[in-house]
Amino acid sequence: MNQDYIKPDNWSIIEKGFDAESVKSSESLFSIGNGAMGQRANFEENYTGATFQGSYIAGIYYPDKTKVGWWKNGYPEYFAKVLNAPNWIGIEIEINGENLDLNSCTAVRDFRRELNMKEGWYHRSFEATLKNGTEIAVNIRRFLAMNLDEAGVIHYEITPLNKDAKIVYKPYLDAGVTNEDANWDEKFWEPLDVKHHGNEAFVTAQTFKTHFKVTTFMQNSILENGRNLNISPSNFETTVDKIQSSYAVIVAQGKKSAIQKIGGYTVSLNHDNTYTAAEKVIQQAIAIGYDQLLQDQIDAWAKIWEMSDITIDGDVKAQQGIRFNIFQLNQTYSGKDNRLNIGPKGFTGEKYGGSTYWDTEAYCIPFYMATKDQQVARNLLTYRYNQLDKAIENAQKNLGFKDGAALYPMVTMNGEECHNEWEITHEEIHRNGAIAFAIFNYHRFTGDYSYIPEKGLEVLIGIARFWHQRANFSKDKNQYVILGVTGPNEYENNINNNFYTNYIAKWCIDYATEQLVKVSLEYPSDHKRIIEKVKLSDAELQEWKKVAGNMYFPKSEELGIYLQQDCFLDKDLVPVKDLDKAQRPINQKWSWDRVLRSPYIKQADVLQCFYFFEEHFSKEELKRNFEFYESFTVHESSLSPCVHSIQAAALDKMDMAYAFYLRTSRLDLDDYNKEVEEGCHITSMAGTWMSIVEGFGGMRVKDNTLHFAPKIPKEWEGYSFKINFRNQILKVAINHNQTTFSVDGTKELKIMVNGEAVVVSPAL
Amino acid sequence: MNQDYIKPDNWSIIEKGFDAESVKSSESLFSIGNGAMGQRANFEENYTGATFQGSYIAGIYYPDKTKVGWWKNGYPEYFAKVLNAPNWIGIEIEINGENLDLNSCTAVRDFRRELNMKEGWYHRSFEATLKNGTEIAVNIRRFLAMNLDEAGVIHYEITPLNKDAKIVYKPYLDAGVTNEDANWDEKFWEPLDVKHHGNEAFVTAQTFKTHFKVTTFMQNSILENGRNLNISPSNFETTVDKIQSSYAVIVAQGKKSAIQKIGGYTVSLNHDNTYTAAEKVIQQAIAIGYDQLLQDQIDAWAKIWEMSDITIDGDVKAQQGIRFNIFQLNQTYSGKDNRLNIGPKGFTGEKYGGSTYWDTEAYCIPFYMATKDQQVARNLLTYRYNQLDKAIENAQKNLGFKDGAALYPMVTMNGEECHNEWEITHEEIHRNGAIAFAIFNYHRFTGDYSYIPEKGLEVLIGIARFWHQRANFSKDKNQYVILGVTGPNEYENNINNNFYTNYIAKWCIDYATEQLVKVSLEYPSDHKRIIEKVKLSDAELQEWKKVAGNMYFPKSEELGIYLQQDCFLDKDLVPVKDLDKAQRPINQKWSWDRVLRSPYIKQADVLQCFYFFEEHFSKEELKRNFEFYESFTVHESSLSPCVHSIQAAALDKMDMAYAFYLRTSRLDLDDYNKEVEEGCHITSMAGTWMSIVEGFGGMRVKDNTLHFAPKIPKEWEGYSFKINFRNQILKVAINHNQTTFSVDGTKELKIMVNGEAVVVSPAL
């Protein structure tokens, strides 16, 4: 894929020309979603070329039996696979007796895809000559309703160009789908029931083992030149897991024929009777009507953009990049449902499985916190609170920990760990720190303390207990150490005293201890309730403090840096710039042991600590550590460039900051890692947002006040973003001459700009 | 299984009474082999109870496609599975119309198994009452001919006890067998041809992918009261991969009826035409006749025991244990064929796969060197020499090493690496050291230097080059370090500066350098040939020396010990004696991260270094290191107790030495690790031999002279062993009063006993 494949455009993702080689990549990039479901941009009609079929429903997964070469004690029984859900978008098209298939047409002209991010729809058009000589023009618009989030709509329009055509529309529902990512080629869906009446059809299936029941439905209308013909299907073909109806029409040359297909899912997570729920959704959608559904969609996205848009002037690619990131984040997670979370591929692919990683707390929460109602971030915190019991069980079962120590899973769908590489599953324990940090961050940003006495404190206690038990006293160092971990830099495994891990461990204990005091003073009844529930004694607290107060941190006095881990300086310290380009990406070129003993860093690790706890360190320290570690960082994680971009901006290394920004914002659009066909990197997209707002904008929250230190890349004319700070909407617009702050509503807002107090008054 | 299950006996392994629960364990313990093939003690007749079927042919394997959960770059494409070979032992038995099956008989009496180690045969007898009321006595003897090593013989004798019986013998050959250990449930054998004539039958099959062609054959005779009835089969049933013949006889009550089945394999490794080769083997076996085959077997084993027996007086269990170990080693590897090696389960199971581990060099060579002609050990060295090219390719392909650096595989069948856990495959590189050490050890013991200029030096150079390239200079330490390894103690992964690894790395370079000098002086034409072949420059040699001369070794001055690795003293150093027994074995009770960060040691690591290089360290150092590390060693590897036993003996800790001896010698017989049903621990059996000869006997070779420091456990009255030292056979007999040395032949032998020179004169 080259960088011209996606056309630069401020508001849309546009592909022009049909290239079978790009189909799978485009299926990822043009994916649509509405928080409750999503789908790759698979063709509606038959396609016999290479494709990666994917439809996904939030919260629905399959516990695929673990597959490993060598079983290690403590591996979970299953890996929670993101499930390819029943297909409701399929419409076979027969034109004068020939099945439409872009892979077998004699010609395909003017093929174009557009993902209109402003209005939230996906459009595809082309002209094709079939083998039987019929020429047709095709226009398809598809969207998943943001408001009526169990439904989507397809408007599939065909115009015969050179002759009249008999068109047979054969829309179908198919629960006989498979996953590309399946350990044992098992079937994941058990068909239960197939029903139809009138223009409606329903396939109900449930997942094996997890027994999520899903009714997949469709309702079809046939139109000519925009007018509903009100015809009924001539035929229904059904199998145990598929139903297909047929509508045959004769269309005169030049006339526009169309099928409108309403489809979607109702699931047992939300309904006792998924079938009657599906009936109701269809009725609602029909009542609203296609045109109004589209208008509602445009309005819903306008509302989203109103708050979350970032504008960039003078750099279309940068503008397109950030909007693509913001669009995907909003497609993936709406924040309405605290049972859901933000999967690394969202609704764009199956890879990695699970829905919840530390990405949520470390990268995503700041975006949702600043661009949504604070309830959204609170829901993400509550998700973890609701899984606290499972985290306690995890620490108990696998590590023999006790008294309510909690280890949150590396990957999960339901609170149970489902990842299975010992070096990650069992050792990448720093994830626990990010979960505590998110509670702190939520309070810092929103000022809403109530979450902590209500729920957060219990999570903080479980996590503090974990660190207390996980550290051990080294007689040799006369300090507490944390042995055998994998830090954020996954290119090191089973290391001792990862600086980031040790630092956040100490911080977690300190923070939990402080909150215990604060809650005891300010929310005594909550304090009493919690202490009784978790049985926390003063003696235990003293033990915590011993660990936190005497934690060991590896450092080099000579270099003035913290060490990523013990013995880091024993490595052969050849910086990335001196590494032969043919050796990169190292994770594709080198055996794992070479990667591990090299000095190369996958993603920010010590620097991640500086990002979280910036105010604990001086600018000088940041500079020394940044310059040391940046020189060894290969950024082979999508989560890496954003932190480097923010810190480069803070250090006035604007060229570097801009380069990192482009890399993070156009990672998928320009397919830096040659893997976008597997899906997009959703969680890192929130990091892109941070690069602008926290990086270039220099936004921080200190002492209940927003701070800014605005900078602008020389490549840009100006940029703007909005922040929902404690229910006041602040707009920040920055160009090379000035920064303009404006605030909605009637109340003024005190902020700090480059260390000076500024009062932003509302426009009158 | 309890410790009374195997009856104590000096020469035999005996089981009494039929216990369906023990069948799989007994199938392992009563396995037979002749170096070229072997088989678990599966019943000949049908058995519908739990069984683990296994027949194995040396050198025949299947490259089973690698199965891992998360692919890591550099993993081999396949794992070489020990193949369950076609079954030739099967004989279905019909008694008065009922199929004999011990699982469905109404009564089984006097069931007894005996593995007669002295004479090399396996016998099984029982009386059974069938459901049809017929009572029979059954006696079966089976052996695999040591001399005619492509053939085995079964004498299966039935006596009807309470009535006349119509007996139908249905001997068969079956290539439709499967492996228990198969990654993808693939079929490993492709049937090619089924033939029969007269009393002979042949099934030819080949392995998929590797295309080893194997003709499995049988020839059957029916006897009554010992007289061959010379009858032909009434019937042959054939399928594509199985052939079964039928012989029906009427046997009067009290008469002995029998079938003699000659069977075995001829393989394309040894024959162009495996079918005609099989014909020839049958003819040879018939010409010799059953009685003489048995006598030859007894004679062959007498010859083996004559040289390799160890006697122990006053401790039947210890006696039985050591003989079982010696017997199994001789069954597994005869040393005739330098394409073969010593698999960890020999011919007793499938587990682990591959045939060659560092076990061969570290544990097995001393046994074969001292009890066989020196050609046997030389064949084992040559095996590695023949695989040098593959070891060079391995280092090149996976590590990017150059100029002929060689990394021998962790597990192999043909020189290619086939193991696939990164922490083992890529990091357990110390194996290279043992391969070099074996060359040194061979020369030290045999005095045969010719191997080094002929072959060994090239191996030493490849290995030295590996260490030179694998170490890196640490600016921080100002020394060379070796990062990211797994040492012999596999309960640590990806550690830095494993003392054992660093030490043997330095030693390998030093030893290769010395041999280069010696060969250049003493074998100048070999030196020239090799230097030209491997393109070794003086500059490279100087680089080697820099690494070896400035290698870093972790140690604690305070404790006076070497450290197993950097930061070992940071661990929570709770000795094994204070570890809750319920937590053991830790590899079954703990998640892997807990195992890793614990101080517990799977097998000797620093102590393995002291074992190899005893003379480099003082007794005081040994004592300090032994006492420190022994206290943390859980011996969850079969390879651990022997080294500890030898060192305990050296340190006069005789009770400890004896306990370790028992543990190693009866590991399988007493099923310490509750896993003998998977097969026996063959390679560790050589360690048992070392425990006596090097441990209690204190045998060492220094300066071309055998040294002894005889000790005896208080539990024993006396013990004796023989050593083939440079073609002189020395017998050593030790009791509480004295040690008696005697030498065969006419030449005296100078030895050292407790530091004093002794001349052993031959008896006149």
3-state secondary structure A257-281: EEEEEEEEEEECCCCCCHHHHHHHH
A213 backbone dihedrals φ, ψ, rounded to 5° = -95, 135
Nearest to A474 among B69, B400, B570 (CB): B570
Comparing C-alpha atoms, which of B377, B329, B301 is closest to residue B665? B329
Pairing of strands B749-753, B705-708: parallel
Nearest CA in chain B to A74: B591
Nearest to B420 among A69, A483, A570 (CB): A69
Q: What is the mean pLDDT of each run of 10 residues along chain A (764 residues)?
A: 78 96 97 97 98 96 89 89 95 98 97 98 98 98 98 98 98 96 90 97 96 98 96 95 97 97 98 98 97 98 97 97 97 93 95 88 96 96 98 93 97 93 95 98 98 98 98 98 98 98 98 98 98 97 98 97 98 97 92 96 97 98 98 93 97 97 93 91 95 98 98 98 97 97 96 97 84
Cβ–Cβ pairs < 8 A, chains A and B: 143
Q: What angle do CA B441, B445, B449 make, to 5 degrees?
A: 80
Residue A460's CB: how many other CB atoms inside 10 A?
Answer: 26
What does each C-alpha distance from B29 to A356, B15, B58, B324, B687 come to in angstroms? 50, 10, 19, 9, 18
Q: How far apart (Å, rounded) are the C-alpha atoms in residues A264 and A219? A: 10
Query: Is the entire prediction scored with pTM above 0.80?
Result: yes
Q: How far apart (Å, rounded) are the C-alpha atoms in residues A658 and B207? A: 59
Set of chain B residues whose Cβ sits within 8 Å of the Cβ of A566: 566-567
If phi > 0 it is left, if psi is from -120 to 50 it is alpha, else beta; for residue B742 that is beta
- Best of A430, A469, A485, A494 to disrupt the B interface (most B CBs within 10 Å) is A494
What are the tens digits of pLDDT across the range B652-695? 999 999 999 999 999 999 998 889 999 999 999 999 999 999 99
Asked if pLDDT for residue B263 goes beyond 80, the answer is yes
Asked if pLDDT for residue B445 goes beyond 90, the answer is yes
Contact between residue B335 and residue B376 where contact means Cβ atoms under 8 Å apart: yes
Q: How does DSSP classify residue B424?
A: I
Contact between residue A744 and residue A728 where contact means Cβ atoms under 8 Å apart: yes
What are the tens digits of pLDDT across the range B539-584? 999 999 999 999 999 999 999 999 999 999 999 999 999 999 999 9
In the residue annotation, B421 being an active-site residue is answered as no
Q: How far apart (Å, rounded) are the C-alpha atoms in residues A217 and A202? A: 4
Alpha-helical regions (H) of A606-744: 606-612, 619-630, 641-650, 654-665, 682-690
What are the tens digits of pLDDT across the range B63-88? 999 988 888 888 999 999 889 999 99
What does each C-alpha distance from A700 to A500, A683, A763, B142 come to in angstroms? 21, 21, 24, 83
Nearest CA in chain B to A394: B591
Q: Report percent pLDDT > 70 for chain B.
A: 99
Contact between residue B194 and residue B241 where contact means Cβ atoms under 8 Å apart: yes
Residue B1: pLDDT band with limits 50, 70, 90: very low
Does residue B230 sit in helix, strand or coil?
coil
Contact between residue A113 and residue A124 where contact means Cβ atoms under 8 Å apart: yes
Pairing of strands A37-39, A55-57: antiparallel
User: In chain B, what is the greatest distance between 2 CA atoms, to the nearest angstrom?
Assistant: 89
Radius of gyration for the alpha carbons in chain A, expressed in angstroms and rounded? 27
Tell me how many helices (H) and strands (E) chain B has: 21, 32
Structure tokens at B545: 């020396």
Domain ranges of chain A: 12-306
Set of chain B residues whose Cβ sits within 8 Å of the Cβ of A66: 69
Q: How far apart (Å, rounded) are the C-alpha atoms in residues B27 and B32? A: 10
Nearest to B481 among A494, A570, A588 (CB): A570
CB contact set of A59 (below 8 Å; sequence gap of 6+): A212, A267, A269, A337, A339, A340, A355, A413
Does residue B14 sit in helix, strand or coil?
strand
Nearest CA in chain B to A471: B572
Q: How does DSSP classify residue B39?
A: E
Comparing C-alpha atoms, which of B581, B571, B562, B557 is closest to residue B628? B562
If phi > 0 it is left, if psi is from -120 to 50 it is alpha, else beta; for residue B211 that is left
Q: How does DSSP classify residue A37?
A: E
Set of chain A residues whose Cβ sits within 8 Å of the Cβ of B72: 591-592
Residue A37 Cα to chain centre, angstroms: 13
Residue B3: pLDDT band with limits 50, 70, 90: low
3-state secondary structure A66-117: CCCCCCCCCCCCEEEEECCCCECCCEEEEECCEECCCCCCCEEEEEEEEEEC
Residue B72 is predicted with a pLDDT of: 87
Residue B567 to residue A570, Cβ atoms within 8 A: no
Q: How far apart (Å, rounded) are the C-alpha atoms in residues A127 and A100? A: 12
Crossing angle of helices A457-470 and A388-399, in 10° steps, is: 10
Residue A714's CB: how many other CB atoms inside 10 A?
Answer: 8
Structure tokens at A184: 């044992």
Q: What angle do CA B179, B181, B182 make, to 5 degrees?
A: 75
Contact between residue A54 and residue A349 where contact means Cβ atoms under 8 Å apart: yes
Structure tokens at B319: 């006696």
Radius of gyration for the alpha carbons in chain B, expressed in angstroms and rounded? 27
DSSP-derived secondary structure for A331-393: HH--S--TT----TTTTS--TT-SSB-THIIIIIHHHHHHHS-HHHHHHHHHHHHHTHHHHHH
Residue A593 to residue B427, Cβ atoms within 8 A: yes
Contact between residue B192 and residue B215 where contact means Cβ atoms under 8 Å apart: no
Architecture of domain B12-304: Distorted Sandwich (2.70)
Is B185 part of any known ligand binding site? no
Comparing C-alpha atoms, which of B512, B619, B513 is closest to residue B560? B619
Q: How does DSSP classify residue A599?
A: S
User: In chain A, what is the greatest distance between 2 CA atoms, to the nearest angstrom?
Assistant: 89
Q: What angle do CA A657, A659, A664 make, to 5 degrees?
A: 95
Task: List beta partners, residue B93.
Answer: B169
CA atoms within 13 A on the CB side of B606: 28
Q: How far apart (Å, rounded) are the C-alpha atoms in residues A733 and A713? A: 14
Structure tokens at B304: 């083996």
- Best of A396, A473, A570, A636 to disrupt the B interface (most B CBs within 10 Å) is A570
Residue A3 is predicted with a pLDDT of: 56
Residue A1 is predicted with a pLDDT of: 45
Comparing C-alpha atoms, which of B169, B103, B123 is closest to residue B16? B123
Set of chain B residues whose Cβ sits within 8 Å of the Cβ of A476: 556, 569-570
Catalytic residue among B44, B94, B490, B492: B490
Comparing C-alpha atoms, which of B759, B734, B731 is closest to residue B744? B731
Residue B70 is predicted with a pLDDT of: 84
Residue B353 is predicted with a pLDDT of: 81
A224 backbone dihedrals φ, ψ, rounded to 5° = -130, 130
Is B602 part of any known ligand binding site? yes
Nearest to A570 among B426, B474, B556 (CB): B474
Set of chain B residues whose Cβ sits within 8 Å of the Cβ of A574: none
Determine the CATH number of domain A12-306.
2.70.98.40
Q: How far apart (Å, rounded) are the C-alpha atoms in residues A528 and A526? A: 5
Contact between residue A711 and residue A717 where contact means Cβ atoms under 8 Å apart: no
Structure tokens at A575: 């910086």
Q: How far apart (Å, rounded) are the C-alpha atoms in residues B455 and B386? A: 9
Q: How far apart (Å, rounded) are the C-alpha atoms in residues A610 and A618? A: 10
